[in-house]
Structure 1
Amino acid sequence: MSGLFISFEGPDGAGKTTALNALVPLLKQRANQDIVLSREPGGSEIAEQIRKIILAIHDEKMDDRTEALLYAAARRQHVVDVIRPSLADNKILLSDRFVDSSIAYQGGGREIGTKEVAEINDFAINGTLPDLTIYFDISPEVGLSRIRKDHEGEMDRLEKEALSFHKRVHSAYLDLVDANPDRIKSINANQAPEKVVDDALNVIINRFPNVFNKGE
């Protein structure tokens, strides 16, 4: 038995976090190993402090490369404090976002370059990659519409970006899906929430039949 690392990705408004929260109890019912739920940016004390800086609404003057480096720094601390210890203890680590987010948002959205951001994060993660990534796909237009409806004006710096930014993020995500077909599995997030959760659950238990039983 060994640890398992699954990350969850998606553009803003895809319902990723909501789906993940619904998935956790279903996975716990079926798993033969303990499950740890974490998130990025954040997941550990130092990484959470960096998160506050990154997502602060009033930090519009933050340089794009500074932002990318802060995400990578938070990720490194998350890897050291949470991910690797969980895997060493043979646990299942579920992370709400990981390295693909930086490649999509800073590399694509900020137009720093996906290759450049990937290289920054290669240094940060030092070989630690998910065994599986569930990507919740939704169009930027629908995603932004959901955010503005659900958040009622309480949006972070990235969510407040223009549609053109979110279109670049979405395009970068699709490139990642195409480039990593074995690791990244795409779920249609335009479906009813229950169907989204069911699709994601089936992908996970079919991918790891020795870790998750199929249930009833």
Structure 2
Amino acid sequence: MKGIFITFEGPDGSGKTTQMGLLARHLGLRGLRVLCTREPGGTPMAEAIRQLLLSSWPEQVLGITEVFLYAASRAQHVRGKILPALEAGRVVLSDRFVDSSLAYQGFGRGLDPELVRQVNDLATGGLTPHLTLLLDLPPEEGLRRSRGEGRHGDPDRFEQEDLDFHRRVREGYLELARREPGRFKIIDATGPQDEVFRQVWEAVEPLL
């Protein structure tokens, strides 16, 4: 694999998309070829699965159903977009990847994280990011941001979950970071945008 794979993780409202855009611009100015993508999504079929996952339904959507849908989307995404870009030597930046499933379905929904990991290993062929940037902030602040003024559209199905769910997700992310300190870099996402990006760049620059 010739390229570099960097993922952005964190709770809702942590600013992943904004920071990924800032990093992409910074890398582009340095002459690097960058691909920005997101999960669930990234390819036409994966984007269709995204709509299924984030929409509200009149029936209960089981945690295990979410696991399989995310994995199906991820299988298309990895083989259709991420791997070809990495083979071409590009820097791939992804807004969420497998760690989101571990945090949201494993810790948030209370499913066996090892089961979630096994399903996703099958979907991705074991692809692991070179670096995962965990934008961390208290769930109360994340929900205030994600549900606040200026947002476009109604909150999605996960943003509508209660505070306890989002607390479990955050603790899940922090536990994942403790288990893999070499891959994860925890970024304090509570400060101003430029200060958060300074931390992001300090984490990314050694890879280059």
The 10-residue stretch of structure 1 (151-160 or 190-199) with the greater mean CA deviation from structure 2: 151-160
TM-score normalised by L of structure 1: 0.91
Aligned structure 1 segments of 4 or more residues deviating by more than 6 angstroms: none
Q: Does 1:18 align with 2:21?
A: no
Counterpart of 1:56 in structure 2 is 55
Match of 1:214 in 2: none
Encode CA deviations 1:9-31: one digit per residue, 9 max, x unaligned. Answer: 00111111112122211121124
Query: How far is 1:152 from its partner?
Result: 7.3
Tell me how far apart the structure 1 counterparts of residues 152 and 134 of structure 2 sit (CA, whole Å).
25
Give 1:147 shift: 1.5
Given the alignment of the two structures, is residue 129 of structure 1 paired with residue 128 of structure 2, yes or no?
A: yes
Q: Which runs of 5+ in 2 are unaligned?
A: none
The amino acid of 1:6's aligned partner reads I
Q: Name the CA shift for 1:152/1:3 in 2 (closer, same or farther; >3 Å).
A: closer
1:55-134, aligned counterparts within 5 Å? Answer: 55-58=54-57, 60-134=59-133
Return the TM-score normalized by structure 2. 0.95
Counterpart AA for 1:122: D
Q: Deviation digits for residues 27-68 of structure 1, max 9, x if unmatched?
A: 21124x311111000001111111111111335522211111
Q: Please name the residue that 2:45 is paired with.
A: 46
The answer (yes or no) to whether the contact 1:10–1:136 under 8 Å persists in 2 is yes
Equivalent position of 2:159 in the other structure:
159
Q: Residue 5 of structure 1: SS of its match in structure 2? A: strand
Distance 2:58 2:105 in 1: 16
Shift, 1:153, TM fit: 6.8
Q: What does residue 190 of structure 1 align with?
A: 190
Distance 1:146 1:152 in 2: 12
Tell me whether 1:34 sits opposite 2:33 in the alignment.
yes
Q: Percent identity between the aligned chains?
A: 43
Distance in 2, Cα, partners of 1:198 & 1:160? 31
